[in-house]
Amino acid sequence: MNAAEIRELFPILGQRVHNYPLVYLDSAASAQKPIQVIEAVRQYYECDNANVHRGVHTLGIRATEAYEESRVAVAHFIGASSEREIVFTRGATTALNLVASSYAQTVCGEGDEIVLSEMEHHSNLIPWQQVAKATGAVLKYIPLQSDGTFSIEDVEKTVTNRTKVVTVSHVSNVLGIANPVKQMADIAHKKGAVLVVDGAQSAPHLKVDVRELDCDFYVISGHKMCAPTGIGVLYGRKALLEQMEPIEFGGEMMDHVGLQKATWKEAPWKFEGGTPIIAGAIGLRMAIRFLEQIGLDEIAEHDRQLTRYAEEQMREIDQLTIYGPSDGRVGLITFNLDQVHAHDVATVLDTYGVAIRSGHHCCQLLMRHLDVGSTARASFYLYNTEADVDQLLFALKKTKEYFKE
């Protein structure tokens, strides 16, 4: 793949910021959109805009076909057995909340266990705290090593016969490392628990096969993989989705409505009450097509090489601390310049056209474990080049000089 050519397909990247060419290194927060995705959404609104699963007129039929074709595309993209295992949501956060509220609150009781780690994004932490509060279940945390990672041996020690749910990020949004999801699935299933995987950071960068991973639930955030904002995916095993109850009620998710009660449609449609995110789903389908045409393996290798190049150069900068292990980073580096607050680093970098993330990254537990209040994060994607990294390094050195004065 040619990242410089791919970059030309992203209109937003052609601008200048503070008279410097924009270097966008915040894709872990939200990826930019290629012209193909922008045009697909525009085409829907200009030519096919209608509600789905309702009208029998031409626009309604075209919109419904496009929406359901998007479901098929997602199923193929992540290796699901059927499009019936794909639920469209507002994002990964909504998908995780759906699993927590609809599944976990019905299977967990007093003294049951939910196993997770302190590296989890708040979206994969707070919903489980709420389940524990509602059911009397106990949150158990897999012990972390000093670098923020955990061992599979500690997973085995933490999961017990009382464990009902094991939940983990596929790739950490702070450390950038991939967790041993398949091994965790084996451990969870041997104890009768299900495995929930937060794939928000992995799906944009890695080829995902949910059947190979053997997970029970997997969530995706569309806007991190070049799709529009406001669209996400919950993958769930068909048998589990069928036993779950919807948590939102309204139009088009019901089968029969009486004066006192109603019955629901089958999964996945029973979870998609009201007007769904039609344009978002269509944009997601085009984003998937775009990524598949380039090749997920090629994207993964590009991200690994660029991250490795950036880390090697950044380690040459005095008083710069990089968090997490070097091996296996997936598209991001989290760091601090000693004695300079991460927000100040990000602010100065912005004056050189470099956009990075700063703060706790919605991972306050991990920040406390690493003994820092906040960090800076540079994240890379298929449209980034070594020239972008070089501009980051230049801006970091200028930042050091600025705060020395």
pLDDT digits (tens, 9 = 90+) for 333-378: 999 999 899 999 999 999 999 999 999 999 999 999 999 999 999 9
pLDDT at 328: 85
Domains of the chain: 3-25+296-404 (3.90.1150.10), 38-293 (3.40.640.10)
Encoded tokens for 112: 């049951």
Block residue for tokens 């104890």: 191
Q: How many CB atoms lie within 10 A of CB 293?
A: 8
How many Å separate Cα 203 from the centre of its chain? 7
Distance CA 326, CA 303 (A): 14
Distance of CA 196 to the CA centre of its chain: 13
* pLDDT tens profile 44-59: 999 999 999 988 999 9
Catalytic positions, written as ranges? 362
- Give this prediction's pTM: 0.97
Q: Which range has the worst mean pLDDT, 49-58, 183-192, 213-222, 352-361?
A: 49-58
Torsion, Cα 245 216 237 243, to 10 degrees, reads: -30
Tell me the per-residue pLDDT of 245-301, one tens digit each, with 9 for 90 and over. 999 999 889 999 999 999 999 999 999 999 999 999 999 999 999 999 999 999 999
